[in-house]
Structure 1
Amino acid sequence: MSQDFDKDQDGDSGRIPVLHKQGKGKLLRLADYEAARPDRILGDLRGYWESLRQGRAIPARADVEPRGIRRALDYAFILERIAPGAARFRLAGRHLIDLMGMEVRGMPVCSFLNTSSRGRLSDVLESVFRGPQIAEMRLDSPASYGRPGLVGHLLLLPLRSDLGDVTRALGCLVAEGEIGQNPRRFDLVEDHEFPVIPGAKVLEPSASAAGFSEPPLPFRAGPATEKPALPADASPEERRARFRVISQNEESSGPRPRL
């Protein structure tokens, strides 16, 4: 079963395998017969992550097995950091596929958020990997035509890759309510960060953490060199006097204006 969970390296469908069976050859998900309880699902996943640490600050991605997260399996996912403030899904449970209405493997995690909330999510993501630390977020998807209102809960738990760097994350996304017409996207309402070691300092999410701290260079206007406009009845000779021929050497060697 653990081999199935690790197939994200070998190009499988990217879905976290379903473990629950009822009768011969029939597969059922917990979501088919039990309403989602976000507090229980998030608690189960975080408890499992804690059990993997075994004296370490951050557990390894290779330690994660599906049998340890049975009740959270439909809602769980594995993220890979691909750039500062950006991560994509390596594996994802069925609930995420239902929310998006398509396979989500390889998609950026920001696909589940509206554009106005993606900047904040990027900051939180980078604080999770750089801290490293834990993040919990509350999401909201207002009701619209064909789409009942949803309240979402997102949890991110850092993991070490095979190289030892913190570029993976175990997480889950639980949406309360009827999905309706997909895809469903959310606003990030609030987020909370927690240290992996109790009492440690929390790295507050900020734009600087995602690599956007450098302010743009100030604009310096050069001296005004514009000539006054020609009158409408100017002669062709007067107009030609305004032209200046620039040679190819002068154009390539001369200073270029700063934009």
Structure 2
Amino acid sequence: MSENEKSLRAAVIALAGYRAGGGLSALDEIESYWRRQVEANGYIPSRAELDPRGFSRALSNCFVAEAITPRHLRLRLTGQHLSDVMGMDMRGMPLSALILPDSRPHLEQLISESLAGMTRPVRISLFAPPRFGQPALYGGMVLLPLRDEAGAPRRMLGAFATVGKPGRAPRRFRILGAGEVDRPETTATGRPALRVIEGGLSARV
């Protein structure tokens, strides 16, 4: 088994067990809050309509970003977890700074599709490869559209969380899988459904 295959297998195990350890539960909390706003109002919320008390336990994992082009987001507000993993204040920086260069086109595609009108969450499975002083790090991100004054999705409420020890900062991640989701799929044990796909991992995280 190659090192890459071992890393993907480890990612499956780490991500499948996150509910028991709560490593990525912040994604669920923020997504659930966003869904409640959509269901209550019939439309995606604006940044002004967000009430942090609705996702207070996940504040350190959340961020707010705005579109600077149809394919790029700039971070405006960031939680402490993102700063800790990157080793710097990420406010004002592009969201792509978190992602390894070979995965940035994929991120740009996801941003473009979401800003073009998707009204459901986009879940992203992440993996930071091990290097000296940096153990393998698994994580996830969710992007939730926010409407502007004209009703268009020009901002994003996001959440970022990891499983494992970050090690030496900064850490940058490869996208293992991503997609638009209605509801997180779970197995009979209550864990997220995961499936290995060609070139990476597809997961509801």
Check if 1:107 corresponds to 2:105.
Answer: no
> Once the 2 structures are TM-superposed, how far is the Cα of residue 132 of structure 1 from its aligned partner?
1.9
What TM-score, normalized to structure 1? 0.59
Deviations 1:134-173, CA, capped at 9 Å, x for gaps: 2001000111100011001010010112332210111101
- Structure 2 residue 138 is matched with structure 1 residue 138: no
Higher fraction of strand:
2
Provide runs of 4+ in structure 1 moved above 4 Å: none
Pair 1:51 & 2:33 matched: no
- Which secondary structure state, in structure 2, belongs to the residue aligned with residue 167 of structure 1? strand
User: Does the CA-based 8 Å contact 1:132-1:195 persist in structure 2?
Assistant: no
- TM-score normalised by length of structure 2: 0.74
Matching residue's letter, 2:157: L
Quick one: structure 1 residues 39 and 103, their matched pair in 2 at CA, closer, same or farther if it must change by over 3 Å? closer
What's the CA shift for 1:58? Answer: 1.2
Q: CA RMSD in A?
A: 1.8
Number of residue-to-residue matches in the alignment: 162
Change in CA separation of 1:36 and 1:126 when aligned onto 2, cut-off 3 Å: farther
Among 131, 134, 137, the alignment partner of 1:150 is 137
- Name the structure, 1 or 2, with higher relative contact order (CA <8 Å, separation 6+): 2
1:42 aligns with 2:32: no
Given that 2:127 and 2:138 are in contact with CA atoms closer than 8 Å, whether structure 1 keeps it comes out as: yes
CA contact (8 A) 1:147 1:179 kept: yes
Measure the CA separation in 2 of the matches of 1:67 and 1:36: 23
Counterpart CA distance in 2 for 1:159 and 1:127 is: 14
Contact (CA 8 Å) 2:126, 2:140: kept in 1 or not? yes
Structure 1, gaps ≥5 residues long: 1-34, 197-259
Deviations, residues 194-249 of structure 1 (Å, cap 9, x unaligned) = 369xxxxxxxxxxxxxxxxxxxxxxxxxxxxxxxxxxxxxxxxxxxxxxxxxxxxx
**Whose helix fraction is larger, Structure 1's or Structure 2's?**
2
Provide the rounded CA distance (Å) in 1 between the counterparts of 2:179 and 2:130: 25
- Alignment match, 2:79: 93
- 1:80/1:169 contact within 8 Å kept: yes
Structure-to-structure mapping, 1:60-79, within 5 angstroms? 60-79=46-65
SS of equivalent to 2:74: strand
- CA shift for structure 1 position 174: 0.4
Distance 1:108-1:73 versus aligned 2 partners, 3 A rule: same
Alpha-carbon contact 1:81-1:88 (below 8 Å) kept: yes
Rounded to whole Å, the distance in 2 between the matches of 1:100 and 1:44 is: 22
Give yes or no for contact 1:36–1:174 (8 Å, CA) kept in 2. no
Distance, in Å, in 2 between the alignment partners of 1:128 and 1:194 is 12
Give the deviation of 1:57 after TM superposition: 2.7
Identical positions, percent:
36
- C-alpha separation in 2, matches of 1:36 and 1:161: 36
Q: Is the 8 A contact 2:24 2:162 kept in 1?
A: no
CA contact (8 A) 1:76 1:93 kept: yes
Equivalent residue letter for 1:185: R
